[in-house]
Amino acid sequence: MNENGTYSWSANSGEKKSADPKKLGKIVLIGVLALALLIGVLTCFYTVDDKQQAVITTFGQVTDIADAGLHFKLPFGIQQAHKVDVNIYQKIELGYTTAADGSTVSNASESSMITGDYNIVNVDFFVEYKISDPVQYLYSSNQPELILRNLIQSQVRNVVGSSSVDNVLTTGKENIQMQVRELVTQILQEYNIGLTLVDVRIQDAEPPTQDVIEAFKSVETAKQQAEAVLNEAKAYQNAKLPEAQAQADKLLQNAEYLKQKRINEALEQVAMFNAMYAEYQNDPEITRSRMYYEAIQQVLPGVKVYINTGSSEDVDMLLPLDTLTGGTP
């Protein structure tokens, strides 16, 4: 035992000897600093994948938004990175729930609605949305998905409540989906909760009783048959119209040809008349005789024409024109 009341062992004598407390404190301090440095290094870097964005806060205040990649931040809670899935379409099911095995469970409290003509229908909606603003999504509201779900339910009942049962169950589904999408999008812009509506679809719509279901199925079948008949009529129309148009074009072209032919014949007759009139002016008597003979030839085809020359009795006064003209009447 030494003067300080501690024991130590010497290397040669085997006596008991205590460690130096100052050295022990330094070792502990170095270990703590090394551990803190290791933790700081490990927490300085973070990774954001291609479907995410990270909202960086410094002492609780938003200071930056990081995209995909490896990034650096201050350790020990000075800066924090809150990762948000911004490039993933997320879904909301209204009126039903899809189980893990793929089966669906109906939720009557959400799907049962009253139409504008006071009929009850069961309508299931499938909604897709995505996070458009990670900062607003994290800090502008509490539970933004619940806000969106309640908003969609409200607008769905509003639109269905102003539509007829026929439109809800048959032909008006597209219009209902479009109205719900427009109304929800407009309100989301006002709320600014960082969510954007991608799509709204009616998953299923049916009356609450089996008898009404069968009646609407019969109506839908009749409408489909009517559409099939209309399609056949349109197909027949599309097949016959080109033929009729071709026939009409043919008749028009023929009429145009006849018209032009008549015009050409008239022009030809005018030219002949003008030529004949010019000859008549040169020698009216000869032209008049020729016109007379040509008229006789046209009126009496095949008749031999003889010209009385007015000669004496000793001479033949009739001239055979077929001989003079080489046999041509």
Residues 164 and 103 in one domain: yes
Please choose, from the candidates 303, 295, 171, the residue with its C-alpha nearest in 3D space to the C-alpha of residue 224. Answer: 171
Half-sphere exposure of 307 (CA within 13 A, CB side): 13
Predicted pLDDT of residue 258? 92
Residues 244 and 264 in one domain: yes
Residues 121 and 154 in one domain: yes
Predicted pLDDT of residue 6? 47
Predicted pLDDT of residue 280? 78
Extract the tokens encoding 168: 């809800």
Does residue 12 sit within a domain?
A: no
Give the SS3 label for residue 79: strand
Does residue 240 sit within a domain?
A: yes
Does residue 268 sit within a domain?
A: yes
* C-alpha span between 228 and 248 (Å, rounded): 30
Predicted pLDDT of residue 308? 61
Q: Where a domain ends, among 162, 187, 208?
A: 208
Does residue 4 sit within a domain?
A: no
Quote the longest CA-to-CA distance of the chain. 200
Predicted pLDDT of residue 9? 46
Does residue 14 sit within a domain?
A: no
Predicted pLDDT of residue 132? 93
Q: Is 160 within 8 Å of 177 (Cβ atoms)?
A: no
Q: For residue 191, which phi and psi values (nearest 5 degrees)?
A: -70, -35
Residues 183 and 105 in one domain: yes
Q: Give pLDDT < 70 ranges for the chain.
A: 1-19, 32, 34, 36-42, 212-213, 216, 302-329
Read off the pLDDT of residues 10-43 as tens digits, 9 standing for 90 and up. 444 444 455 577 777 777 777 767 676 666 666 7
Number of domains in the chain: 4
Q: For residue 196, what is the domain's CATH number?
A: 3.30.479.30
Read off the pLDDT of residues 151-181 as tens digits, 9 standing for 90 and up. 999 999 999 999 998 888 888 899 999 999 9
Domain that holds residue 32: 21-85
Residues 222 and 202 in one domain: no
Residues 186 and 296 in one domain: no
Does residue 228 sit within a domain?
A: yes
Residues 109 and 189 in one domain: yes
The bridge status of strand 195-206 relative to strand 120-131 is antiparallel
Q: Where a domain ends, among 208, 235, 265?
A: 208
* C-alpha span between 93 and 112 (Å, rounded): 14
Residues 44 and 65 in one domain: yes
Predicted pLDDT of residue 23? 74
Does residue 151 sit within a domain?
A: yes
Residues 239 and 153 in one domain: no
Q: How far apart are the first and last CA of the chain?
A: 174
Q: Where a domain ends, among 85, 113, 135?
A: 85
Angle ∠(81,85,86) on CA atoms, nearest 5: 110
Residues 99 and 195 in one domain: yes
Residues 124 and 200 in one domain: yes
Radius of gyration of the chain (CA): 54
Residues 105 and 170 in one domain: yes
Does residue 329 sit within a domain?
A: no
Q: For the whole prediction, is pTM greater than 0.75?
A: no
Beta bridge partners of 69: 48
Predicted pLDDT of residue 260? 92
